Amino acid sequence: MKWELEQTDDEPDLTPMIDIVFLLIVFFMTVASVVTAKRVEIKAPIATNSIIAETQENRKAASLKSDGTIYYEGAEVSVDDLKAHLSDSLGGNPAMQLLLRIDIGTAYSDTRDLMAACAEVGAVNIIFTTYQTDK
């Protein structure tokens, strides 16, 4: 039965390809879940001397979009809501750092109002979010 033998030899071994494809799927699934984690989309300014933090512990994030809307931990809030949230967090951890993710095009008048609100409740350790390069 020569014909049958040839046919079985013809079939390629798909095992390594399936291995790689599964690996890719797991990679993209993990990355996709990282992206959706509580981050409001902003375009950060560029600062070549900024540093990438080793740890994200001990900090809370507030975002300010260019239209002046404020987000705290992923949800849109008013200035008063933000103050209440910050007082709560500071009560449990006075050394808390506040990460301000401010969009590149935000006017200083909005930034100033936000910083004034932070200072009022005692959140004075501020970090501005930047990118190290424009790439």
Helix, coil or strand: residue 106: coil
Shortest Å distance, C-beta 128 to another protein: 5
Smallest CA-to-CA distance from 126 within 43, 61, 76 is with 61
* Shortest distance, position 30 Cβ to another protein, whole Å: 9
| Residues belonging to the chain | 135
Rounded Cα distance between 69 and 77, Å, is: 8
What would the two tokens of residue 112 be?
Answer: 């100033």
Closer CB to another protein, 79 or 127, in the complex = 127
Binding site for another protein (CB under 8 A): 1, 4, 11, 14, 17-18, 21-22, 24-25, 28-29, 31-32, 34-35, 39, 44-53, 97, 99, 101-109, 111-112, 115-116, 118-119, 122-132, 134
